[in-house]
Amino acid sequence: MKTAVIVFPGSNCDRDAAVALERVTGRPAAMIWHGDSALPEGLDLVMVPGGFSYGDYLRSGAVSARSPIMQDLVRRAGEGLPVLGVCNGFQVLTEAGLLDGALMRNAGLRFICEKAPLRVETADTRFTRAYGDRKDVTIPIAHHDGNFFADDETLDRLEGEGQVAFRYAANPNGSARDIAGITNAAGNVLGMMPHPERAVDPALGGTDGLGVFESLLGGRS
pTM, whole model, 2 decimals? Answer: 0.95
Select the more confidently predicted residue: 56 or 3: 3
29-32, Cβ contacts within 8 angstroms, sequence gap of 24 or more: 29/3, 29/4, 29/5, 30/2, 30/3, 30/4, 30/5, 31/4, 31/5, 31/7, 32/4, 32/5, 32/6, 32/7, 32/69
Work out the pLDDT band at 132, boundaries 50, 70, 90. Answer: very high
Q: What pLDDT score was predicted for residue 112?
A: 97
Query: For residue 27, is pLDDT > 60?
Result: yes
Q: What pLDDT score was predicted for residue 55?
A: 86
Q: How big, in percent rounded to 5, are the helix, strand and coil portions of the chain?
A: 30, 25, 45
How many CA atoms, within 13 angstroms, populate the side-chain half-sphere of residue 76? 21
Q: Of 110, 128, 198, whose CA–CA distance to 167 is shortest?
A: 128
* Catalytic positions: 87, 195, 197
Instruction: Encode pLDDT of 78-121 as tens digits.
Output: 999 999 999 999 999 999 999 999 999 999 999 999 999 999 99
Instruction: Encode pLDDT of 44-57 as tens digits.
Output: 999 999 999 988 88
Q: Which domains does the chain have, with CATH numbers?
A: 3-217 (3.40.50.880)
Q: What pLDDT score was predicted for residue 57?
A: 82
Average pLDDT (132-161) is: 97
Q: List, in sequence order, the alpha helices (H) in the chain.
A: 14-25, 68-78, 88-95, 152-160, 210-217
Work out the pLDDT band at 218, boundaries 50, 70, 90. Answer: confident
Q: Of 116, 30, 82, whose CA–CA distance to 187 is shortest?
A: 82
Do residues 167 and 177 make contact, with C-beta atoms less than 8 angstroms apart? yes
